[in-house]
Structures are given as C-alpha cells and as structure tokens.
Amino acid sequence: MLTESSYFPNVREIVQQCLQMANKQTKSEVIRWLKNFLH
C-alpha cells in the first residue's frame, strides 16, 4: 500500500499518463485503466 508521501508526488505523472491515453483511447478504456490502477 502506498503512503500519502509516496503517492501524492506521483499524481501529476498519473494525470499526464491519463491525458496521453485519452488522446489515443476512448473514455471508457481510460476509466477501465484507472479502475485497474486503483485496485
């Protein structure tokens, strides 16, 4: 499990990855990736 100190610095990178995928994939696929990442 990630701690807050190790998680939050990576939020910007995660958001950038999501935005890059959103340009290539459909919204549903990005949402599915997010669910897999969070679980």
Q: What is the C-alpha separation between 14 and 34, in angstroms, rounded?
A: 9
Q: Is the Cβ–Cβ distance between 22 and 30 less than 8 Å?
A: yes
Q: Is the Cβ–Cβ distance between 18 and 30 less than 8 Å?
A: yes
Phi, psi angle pair for 10, to nearest 5°: -95, -5
Taking phi first (over 0 means left), then psi (-120 to 50 degrees means alpha), and beta for anything else, what does residue 25 get?
A: beta
Residues of the chain with pLDDT > 90, as a percent, come to 0
For the cut 60, the answer to whether the pLDDT of residue 37 exceeds it is yes
Mean pLDDT of 16-35: 78
Q: What local confidence, expressed as pLDDT, does residue 27 receive? A: 75
For the cut 80, the answer to whether the pLDDT of residue 23 exceeds it is no
Quickly state the pLDDT bin for 21 (edges 50, 70, 90). Answer: confident
pTM confidence score: 0.36
Q: What local confidence, expressed as pLDDT, does residue 6 receive? A: 61
